[in-house]
Structure 1
């Protein structure tokens, strides 16, 4: 159901979706000088207001980034806007407001309530939700001493801070108990407009592609291509694509051969077909399947650690960050901004958040075909939404499930996890090794021993091609502790470049959900110099927070990549952070060997059997169910 309350998110002058918008440069002066001067002035003004309210001066630049060049005025008029800045807690914002407003800054101030509502929805978005049930927001407002949460929500909807929706509850317990003759239960949701508009735009784009394809006037011999397909599942996929503008394809690592066969067949038929992957490593592996690239091109590749030039890849391949960056990577664009493609195959589709998916689908022209392919068992996107899962559940387009299983003991283990079973698997070549530990300290010690000694000696995989995966950054066996221990053993040094040394294994995260594995080369006045599979990267010193050591990663960081060997660390205190999708992603990242440093005892089978994934509240499935989708066969 469309929003029953309309409005835009609050923001300062010259802002769009919470981001600062630069003024056009003056032709008489360099653009950088023109844009920098007003921002410096705005930062100085914001710094003065922040200092007056007892807030850190370091928030001045983020305030201008979030609220625009009028940040100082906006913060003085509405001090609780400081809640939109990084690291600011509710008690900090309340103290800041009292310092600026005096006694009138009470818990029932409408400005406070409005900021809290937006804050709660923004924090929910960080957990993957695109909307939140109104009852949960009301309860949270009560915990923050808002005297009338219901009135606070009404005012937030009325002034356009949030949107409100009423729709069927498709996932709640009442829905599963309702009979076919009963009206489905309803729920009221609140959402920020950026995610509401993204989900609606995505649904509109998918329906557009389903509606504008004319299968009765094919441009290619799809029947012949299906006949020549290398496998029955590839033939099924080609036939489905011949008949529909949108197709969903599911399968594991071995099933990636099927979208590769589709792209190859389509290009052989003279069509403008492209494949999109989430990471450079995924691009390397798909490039090998397309037959023109080198599957060992990425330093993280399952087959090789040799670095290579991205130009080795087939013309038909591009990464999602490259395609959406506006840098010109991938297919050319028409004058209206749409991609010059007849077929776009998106691998790693579960990694798409709702905003990236909406942008991608909007760029596919009328009459073209879109395939979303991926493994439904892996972790969902870092950003809000569960696009792939919602599209599967909505059943508005053909779905092709691969019949190609992942081979070997690792394939058997991961396939069992995918259906909720942790089974004992024969591993005659030590493909799977379980290492029980008593506590986190022992887990760290055994992990370092495995990476530095046991796996290279017994399995033949060198340390630089072995990846450690653990549930979180913090804790006694999180990435911070493990990376410190692994650095000390594998590349000791003083950290002379802001904590990094040449040869350090790192990841660069230039944007949420974009993880670029690299090695430190050095540093100069420009910043930290890295070498990645895509080429050299220099990270400016002010952005060094986007670089982390990477001998150990979280499963979210590792998603979309594979290594010859993986050490999965499951300390005893990690149970609350685990679900089936985490285990599936971590274990499935191993191509040849998996060591499991295991301290969760009998909790792991229970997690795999009972907790498929962390719940996310989204609206895409409901929106698609309401759309006038053309009848689909298959």
Structure 2
């Protein structure tokens, strides 16, 4: 792999990302254009940028006439006036003149609403060190479509605004508080000021200050209301970190850290009020063999752990376990004889084992990288040939497009095939034929969100279940527990479900680790693909998956390492790669190159990178909420979902986007919460999608945020070319070798385990 930008690789030396610092010295000697070039702007690939950096331009500027200078000054003044007009036309920045605690509170709420920072990192690490470039998490909130009809009455908002003002909190939060607390919100807030913690971005110390302003000396750390509110807040923070519940000792210990004098009483009060639920899950002793229930002594007590969780996640996890149990324990619908299934398996090549497993089981797990998707595609074609109503669902629209194209290739035993005529989305196209020579309709592909909403997919039958016989769910690691529960609940009796995905990628943005829990439970067939991802990129990613950062040969510049000294140079080199080097040397245009970085904040986070990329690729004043036509954006229609798109225009309806060819309108009031620029994404946002070229940016302050799943996810988003802007030295190799996925506390394994019979 190269340690130079793409067009200077002819004199480069091979190296690994972990050795980029050492390789950079060799690179700098190849003609003075290496990553360590001594030019003042760090330019090592393109020479002077388009900012007028050459001597002739500066000499010409010095010889401008007075008239030309005056025209230039007028032009600058007109631009300034235009910007001021745009700012006046934008939504009023309520609370802009606040100061002190109220300003801090409003800033915290807005930062979390926009996804700029997580609400808290209480449970994101075993210890909570400061992490300057941590992967952000977003607080669960209602989907935009469901929030609009429940808008609070104006009288309720006004009454809440009066209470907020009295307590020194920004009145701009009135609508959110009214929506969260419902009718009588003002009375509830006055009676229990700590209910302010239900607003995303508010922290206990801020709610404490609000409570003291309203209640005076009555507001103390031992207040029962405070204990309940902080308990619920901590459970919500745990959900943001992926936990569906917390073990009781961990919860009480964290409550004590938050200044709750009697943590046990706070938990009990929360349970008594029904704001949380407690569970006792039986545990097998570590290393003990599985025991038959009839062999257990009647008076023997199995060890248990006590968990506390929010009702929504507890019910979702139990519903998911029930749905999975129904699939596992019921015989799948008999569609075709055993001979028919075996005939299809015989023609499915590397997917033969998958076809055979699906023939006799209601739930099957399939694991593998990008190349392994050919096997679910072969399964779907075989199922349609047998007359099954077969559908696939992907995490996002990009995955849908890619898998639809894959389905349109009939394939042979080795996965090769020619593209079919017809609609690649699955409507109206037919396969050339199965082994018997009969035609079969091309299976359909939907997104998970579209399938659940009914906007895509087969629709639902009279009982409300999906009108299908087989559902292949791709990108399974991205499934959170609530989405997985909705999907399993919607499957009809006798249907088959295949969960397919790469177990090495990051887990879901929402709570739970459904795919990993199912793989660990071993309650259904698991088919591991043997199809490796090809080329140097496949070799690199496969090594990362097993904890090795291997040196790979990249004769076609598939992998390039760009060492940098600091975050400022990282931003500069990233813009240079996207705008010039990759298009010129690799042939991938800027609009097909995706930047991935560990976090939103910091000097080389998504915000800084997007600002620099916008200035270079689509400069403009940001006339509508900071966006202009042509901007690449990351649209979040719901928490945990990110859809790449592009701004088309803005009008009274809102901001018009094109997302994977579909028109989307984001209302003006939702722009700040659900949109950000999308030239640069985090790895969580990028999961489930791939691009021809990817630039992974690893600034020095990102070292603590790196883990093997993060690196695996970021590197595996690239199809043809990967550039690594490397500033973390040996931290990258150490993360790949030593830092696995962060543990998550979930109840699904215990719910799926065989339960002992009830006494008597």
TM-score under structure 1 length normalisation = 0.87
Q: Post-superposition shift, 1:93?
A: 1.1
Aligned pairs (5 A) from 1:278-427: 278-291=395-408, 316-327=444-455, 329-427=456-554
Name whichever of 69-78 and 606-615 sits farther off. Answer: 69-78
1:454 alignment partner, one of 581, 590, 597:
581
The structure-2 alpha-carbon separation of the partners of 1:439 and 1:19, relative to structure 1 and needing over 3 Å to count, comes to: closer
Aligned: 1:193 with 2:277: no
Q: Post-superposition shift, 1:491?
A: 1.1
1:551 alignment partner, one of 664, 679, 688:
679
1:257 alignment partner, one of 368, 374, 378:
374
For 2:539 and 2:639, locate their aligned partners in 1 and report how far apart those are by CA, in whole Å. 32
Q: Post-superposition shift, 1:352?
A: 0.4
1:160 alignment partner, one of 274, 297, 301:
274
Aligned pairs (5 A) from 1:203-222: 203-214=321-332, 221-222=340-341
Contact 1:19 1:67 in 2 (8 A): no
The structure-2 alpha-carbon separation of the partners of 1:603 and 1:378, relative to structure 1 and needing over 3 Å to count, comes to: same
Name the residue aligned to 1:539. Answer: 666
Q: Post-superposition shift, 1:106?
A: 1.2
Q: Post-superposition shift, 1:144?
A: 2.2
Contact 1:440 1:572 in 2 (8 A): yes
For 2:512 and 2:471, locate their aligned partners in 1 and report how far apart those are by CA, in whole Å. 21
Q: Post-superposition shift, 1:289?
A: 1.2
Contact 1:19 1:68 in 2 (8 A): no
For 2:448 and 2:314, locate their aligned partners in 1 and report how far apart those are by CA, in whole Å. 22
Q: Deviations over 1:405-455 (max 9, x none)?
A: 111110011011111111101111110011111111111111111111111
The structure-2 alpha-carbon separation of the partners of 1:45 and 1:404, relative to structure 1 and needing over 3 Å to count, comes to: same
2:258 alignment partner, one of 144, 148, 154:
144
Aligned: 1:225 with 2:225: no
The structure-2 alpha-carbon separation of the partners of 1:42 and 1:311, relative to structure 1 and needing over 3 Å to count, comes to: farther
Aligned pairs (5 A) from 1:472-487: 472-487=599-614
The alignment yields a C-alpha RMSD, in angstroms, of 2.7
Aligned length: 583
Contact 1:249 1:371 in 2 (8 A): yes
Name the residue aligned to 2:591. Answer: 464
Name the residue aligned to 2:193. Answer: 79
SS of residue matched to 1:101:
helix
SS of residue matched to 1:511:
coil
For 1:62 and 1:398, locate their aligned partners in 2 and report how far apart those are by CA, in whole Å. 46
Contact 1:321 1:514 in 2 (8 A): no
Using CA pairs below 8 Å that are at least 6 residues apart, which structure has the higher relative contact order?
A: 2
Name the residue aligned to 1:67. Answer: 181
For 2:166 and 2:220, locate their aligned partners in 1 and report how far apart those are by CA, in whole Å. 19
Any unmatched runs of 5+ in structure 1? 1-16, 24-30, 294-302, 630-634
Name whichever of 112-121 and 610-619 sits farther off. Answer: 610-619
For 1:201 and 1:81, locate their aligned partners in 2 and report how far apart those are by CA, in whole Å. 29
For 2:388 and 2:264, locate their aligned partners in 1 and report how far apart those are by CA, in whole Å. 56
Name the residue aligned to 1:577. Answer: 705
Name the residue aligned to 2:226. Answer: 112
The structure-2 alpha-carbon separation of the partners of 1:620 and 1:564, relative to structure 1 and needing over 3 Å to count, comes to: same
Q: Deviations over 1:63-100 (max 9, x none)?
A: 22222223222212222111011221112211222222
Aligned: 1:529 with 2:656: yes
The structure-2 alpha-carbon separation of the partners of 1:110 and 1:310, relative to structure 1 and needing over 3 Å to count, comes to: farther
Aligned: 1:597 with 2:725: yes
Q: Post-superposition shift, 1:468?
A: 0.5
Contact 1:207 1:627 in 2 (8 A): no
Contact 1:562 1:591 in 2 (8 A): yes
For 1:311 and 1:494, locate their aligned partners in 2 and report how far apart those are by CA, in whole Å. 42
Contact 2:613 2:679 in 1 (8 A): yes
Aligned: 1:561 with 2:675: no
Any unmatched runs of 5+ in structure 2? 1-139, 292-299, 411-418, 430-441
The structure-2 alpha-carbon separation of the partners of 1:522 and 1:196, relative to structure 1 and needing over 3 Å to count, comes to: same
Name the residue aligned to 1:123. Answer: 237
Q: Post-superposition shift, 1:339?
A: 0.6
SS of residue matched to 1:274:
strand
Q: Deviations over 1:114-160 (max 9, x none)?
A: 01100000011011111112112112211222221112122222222
For 1:410 and 1:144, locate their aligned partners in 2 and report how far apart those are by CA, in whole Å. 46
Contact 1:178 1:184 in 2 (8 A): no
2:734 alignment partner, one of 606, 628, 632:
606
Q: Post-superposition shift, 1:496?
A: 1.7
SS of residue matched to 1:334:
coil
For 2:230 and 2:693, locate their aligned partners in 1 and report how far apart those are by CA, in whole Å. 45
For 2:234 and 2:175, locate their aligned partners in 1 and report how far apart those are by CA, in whole Å. 23
SS of residue matched to 2:637:
strand
SS of residue matched to 1:428:
coil
SS of residue matched to 1:167:
strand
Contact 1:19 1:66 in 2 (8 A): no
SS of residue matched to 1:536:
strand
Name the residue aligned to 2:384. Answer: 267
Q: Deviations over 1:486-519 (max 9, x none)?
A: 1111111111222111111111111012211111
Q: Post-superposition shift, 1:179?
A: 8.0
For 1:217 and 1:254, locate their aligned partners in 2 and report how far apart those are by CA, in whole Å. 28
